[in-house]
Amino acid sequence: DAGITQSPRYKITETGRQVTLMCHQTWSHSYMFWYRQDLGHGLRLIYYSAAADITDKGEVPDGYVVSRSKTENFPLTLESATRSQTSVYFCASSGGQGDYGYTFGSGTRLTVV
Amino acid sequence: DQQVKQNSPSLSVQEGRISILNCDYTNSMFDYFLWYKKYPAEGPTFLISISSIKDKNEDGRFTVFLNKSAKHLSLHIVPSQPGDSAVYFCAASGWGSSNTGKLIFGQGTTLQVKP
């Protein structure tokens, strides 16, 4: 199916564990993004990527790692999960220059206990 | 430093009336502004946008106004319908070297339209 998909939809993990959230898009969009949504903070950018093998930090990158070996995939890894990383995570993509409208995935609700 | 601010966490209006959602920004390099709508358990979806060279953009019941001198934009929904009840995010972007197309979002405003 065409679109942008995130997996898993829900995840519970323990403090200190490593967890990876997956994001896959089928449009061959150049740009991909990871945001987290928290009450009172809205959507905050964690990391973004302008193309395969090109990534850069957003507003709140600490504790997260990304990679982008293929254009269509942009996984987000929490190396050692903390309770403050409990949040809803959204992946998005866009075509790049001139394309300001992002398309978002349905989100992953992550709970760190 | 919050570059995009939505100072009203919530708004409640009657069906058929006008809903006005507000957004302020601080970065004068922003040149494109967007509104996204988000229902529970779904990702945000694009609603309407405006370029900094315009002061108004209309799409059906939705109109966005931009006041560059005040660094303020607003979203008007007329008439409001119960299905408009959602969280609305304001976002700003610029393709200058410091922004590289990133969207910076506000905190969101939860709109409730009462039947």
pLDDT of residue A39: 86
Burial class (CB in 10 A: 0-12, 13-18, 19+), A62: exposed
pLDDT of residue A1: 58
More confidently predicted of B2 and B65: B65
Which residues does residue B37 pair with via DSSP β-bridges, in sequence order? B45, B88
When CB atoms are compared, the residue of A42, A101, A103 closest to B34 is A101
Tokens of A104: 């978002």
- Tell me the mean pLDDT in the region B28-43: 92
Token pair 């905190």: residue = B107
When CB atoms are compared, the residue of B43, B49, B95 closest to A101 is B49
Rounded percentage of chain B residues whose pLDDT exceeds 70:
93
B7-18 pLDDT tens trace: 999 999 999 999
pLDDT at residue B98 is higher than 70: no
pLDDT at residue B97 is higher than 50: no
Query: CB of A89 within 8 Å of any CB in chain B?
Result: no
Strands A31-38 and A87-94: antiparallel
- Tell me the mean pLDDT in the region B81-109: 84
∠A70-A4-B10 over CA atoms, to 5°?
Answer: 130
- Tell me the mean pLDDT in the region A73-102: 89
Does B6 sit within 8 Å of A107, measured CB to CB? Answer: no
Mean pLDDT over each residue of chain A, to the nearest integer: 92
Contact of B66 with B35, CB cutoff 8 Å: no
Tokens of B99: 């922004």
Query: CB of B102 within 8 Å of any CB in chain A?
Result: yes
A40-77 pLDDT tens trace: 889 999 999 988 999 999 989 999 999 999 999 999 99
Tokens of A9: 């939809």
pLDDT of residue A55: 93
Query: CB of B6 within 8 Å of any CB in chain A?
Result: yes
